[in-house]
């Protein structure tokens, strides 16, 4: 099969890497790809949200199967458009990608399906929002309804924070139409984990559990980022809890949508808060997590292409996934200053040395080929805030952590920043 992967991050590199191992795959294209992906796929210079150009490319290049990485093209209806042209594509339609594209859709669905989630109300007017909040205990969480590139959630510990979050979204329209409506919800306390499943509309194939690290600094300090590292499995998700999440969260959502005539095909990602009262859903995503995918794919022994094809065809029933039992740790190497202002164009050194280390995989996120006349093919430079995902398996979690950080230490670029505690929370739990 000729496979097109859409996206340009570490997630897409991990997906291309796994897809490249499939016996079903004869050629991979990636649009737009990055400096690492180009070694395993032919990169195509089309942005991930340019749906018309992607469709034209897929038709002209006889693409057999398309895998959509990021949420924006899904929410914009790429699956609907590809399907209409008879092209096979992995992901939910726009109506269903609203599970990520609209917090209000997701919360209403959870309410209907009886899925545990924080109590909430919807507002489009600051006065009624403030009146509601005045009667509640702080902290409260304000969420813009639409997609805001991970910036639409504010945890408000004080009244002035709440007022300014609401003003910024509802009055100043900081997120445009995405913030015209907001949710105010109760703040949950606990440990977060990600449960990612693949669904064929009826059956569910859970992937291994994982845990992301959202904050920029060690000890979960500093501002939120796109994710600074991940590990899989997440020890907070015991086997019993895993089953409970699948039975009381994932299946009720999939069944409710199917009953409403909207079978959900593709990835369903549940961001879970494990509270003292059990698991609660923080959010749903309609695609693979980034950086969780980078920690999950190295553990997947089964053929990813077969799983995705079965999901599209409605044939997941009776299929079993084979996992490498060894834990996997993935650390993000970021540009200094990220998630705020940072420089690009820094030369990356030490990758070859790190890449040959045992059980180490390096997934690129923000990299591109440099332009040095003499050996331009060798020069790799930074091209984003999150630059690399250094990933390693290990016989146990401590070994995975050690393998990963050994590889990290071999790599260098100017102003490189990374968290030194990826995996530490899981180690603490084990002890
Ligand atoms: P979301 O995009 O809804 O997952 O929110 C982003 C992050 O905000 C989550 O990963 C949590 O760390 C935090 N968050 C969201 N909702 C809540 C909540 N109700 N209580 C506590 N933290 C939350």
Q: What is the pLDDT of residues 329-343, one digit of tens each?
A: 999 999 999 999 999
- With a pLDDT cut of 70, the percent of the chain lying above it is 98
> What are 193's two structure tokens?
């984990």
Decide: helix, strand or coil at residue 71.
Answer: helix
Work out the end-to-end distance of the chain between its first and last CA atoms, rounded to an integer number of angstroms.
46
Distance in angstroms (rounded) separating the CA atoms of residues 408 and 310: 37
Please give the distance, rounded to the nearest whole angstrom, from the Cα atom of residue 154 to the centre of ligand 1.
8
Judged on CB neighbours under 10 Å (0-12, 13-18, 19+), 258 is middle
Mutate to test the pocket of ligand 1, among 141, 152, 194, 272 (most ligand atoms within 8 A of CB): 141
Q: Of all protein residues, whose CA lies closest to atom 1 belonging to ligand 1? A: 283
**Regions of the chain where pLDDT drops below 70:** 372-378
Contacts of 235 (CB under 8 A, 6+ apart): 397, 426, 429, 430
Q: Of all protein residues, whose CA lies closest to atom 3 belonging to ligand 1? A: 283
Please give the distance, rounded to the nearest whole angstrom, from the Cα atom of residue 96 to the centre of ligand 1.
21
Are 20 and 28 within 8 A, CB to CB?
yes
Task: Return the pLDDT at 374.
Answer: 56
Distance in angstroms (rounded) separating the CA atoms of residues 224 and 409: 24
Task: Return the pLDDT at 151.
Answer: 85
Task: Return the pLDDT at 379.
Answer: 87
**Ligand 1 atom closest to Cα of residue 150:** 2
Containing 164, the helix (H) or strand (E) segment is helix 159-166
Please give the distance, rounded to the nearest whole angstrom, from the Cα atom of residue 129 to the centre of ligand 1.
19
Return the closest-CA partner of residue 211 out of 188, 225, 226, 192. Answer: 192
Please give the distance, rounded to the nearest whole angstrom, from the Cα atom of residue 153 to the centre of ligand 1.
7
Are 38 and 369 within 8 A, CB to CB?
yes
Distance in angstroms (rounded) separating the CA atoms of residues 235 and 13: 26
Please give the distance, rounded to the nearest whole angstrom, from the Cα atom of residue 74 to the centre of ligand 1.
22
Return the closest-CA partner of residue 79 out of 70, 90, 71. Answer: 90
Please give the distance, rounded to the nearest whole angstrom, from the Cα atom of residue 147 to the centre of ligand 1.
14
Q: Where are the beta strands (DSSP E) in 293-385?
A: 328-335, 360-364, 367-369, 380-382
Task: Return the pLDDT at 149.
Answer: 85
CA distances from 399 to 326, 358, 363, 394 (A): 10, 11, 19, 5
* CA 282, 284, 285, 289 torsion-angle sign: positive
Quick check: pTM over 0.75?
Answer: yes
272 beta partners: 193, 281
CA distances from 76 to 82, 96, 268, 367 (A): 12, 11, 17, 26
Contacts of 155 (CB under 8 A, 6+ apart): 139, 141, 187
Pocket of ligand 1 (CB under 6 A): 118, 141, 143, 153, 155, 185, 187-188, 192, 214, 271, 282-283
Containing 301, the helix (H) or strand (E) segment is none
Task: Return the pLDDT at 242.
Answer: 98
**Ligand 1 atom closest to Cα of residue 186:** 19
> What are 286's two structure tokens?
């309609």
Task: Return the pLDDT at 372.
Answer: 63
Distance in angstroms (rounded) separating the CA atoms of residues 269 and 288: 7
Residue 53 dihedral angles phi and psi, to the nearest 5°? -65, -35
Residue-by-residue DSSP string for 41-65: SEE----TT-HHHHHHHHHHTT-SE
- How many residues does the structure list for the chain? 431
């Amino acid at each position: 099969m000729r496979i097109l992967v859409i996206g340009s991050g570490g997630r897409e590199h991990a997906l291309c890497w796994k897809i490249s191992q499939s016996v079903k795959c004869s050629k991979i294209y990636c649009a737009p790809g990055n400096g690492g992906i180009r070694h395993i796929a032919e990169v195509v210079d089309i942005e991930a949200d340019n749906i018309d150009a992607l469709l034209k490319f897929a038709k002209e290049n006889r693409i057999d199967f398309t895998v959509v990485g990021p949420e924006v093209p899904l929410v914009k209806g790429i699956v609907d458009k590809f399907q209409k042209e008879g092209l096979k594509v992995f992901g939910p339609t726009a109506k269903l990608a609203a599970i990520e594209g609209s917090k209000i859709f997701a919360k209403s669905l959870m309410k209907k399906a009886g899925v545990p989630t924080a109590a909430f109300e919807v507002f489009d007017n600051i006065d009624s929002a403030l009146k509601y909040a005045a009667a509640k205990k702080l902290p409260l969480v304000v969420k813009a309804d639409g997609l805001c590139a991970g910036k639409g959630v504010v945890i408000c510990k004080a009244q002035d924070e709440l007022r300014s979050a609401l003003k910024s979204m509802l009055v100043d329209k900081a997120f445009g139409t995405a913030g015209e409506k907001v949710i105010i919800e109760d703040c949950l306390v606990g440990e977060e984990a990600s449960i990612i499943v693949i669904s064929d509309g009826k059956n569910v194939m859970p992937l291994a559990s994982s845990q992301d690290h959202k904050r920029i600094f060690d000890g979960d300090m500093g501002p939120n980022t796109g994710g600074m590292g991940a590990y899989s499995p997440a020890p907070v998700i015991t086997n019993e809890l895993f089953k409970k999440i699948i039975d009381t969260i994932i299946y009720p959502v999939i069944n409710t949508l199917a009953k409403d005539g909207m079978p959900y095909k593709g990835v369903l990602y549940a961001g879970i808060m494990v509270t003292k009262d059990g698991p609660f859903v923080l959010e749903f995503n309609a695609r693979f997590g980034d950086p969780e995918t980078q920690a999950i794919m190295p553990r997947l022994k089964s053929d990813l292409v077969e799983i995705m094809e079965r999901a599209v065809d409605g044939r997941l029933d009776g299929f079993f996934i084979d996992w490498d039992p060894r834990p996997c740790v993935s650390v993000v190497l970021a540009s200094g200053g990220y998630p705020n202002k940072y420089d690009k164009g820094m030369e990356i050194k030490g990758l070859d040395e790190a890449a040959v280390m045992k059980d180490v995989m390096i997934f690129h996120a923000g990299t591109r080929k440099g332009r040095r006349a003499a050996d331009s093919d060798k020069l790799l430079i930074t091209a984003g805030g999150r630059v690399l995902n250094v990933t390693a398996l290990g016989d146990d979690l401590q070994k995975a952590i050690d393998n990963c950080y050994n590889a990290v230490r071999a790599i260098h670029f100017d102003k490189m920043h990374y968290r030194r505690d990826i995996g530490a929370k899981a180690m603490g739990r084990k002890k």
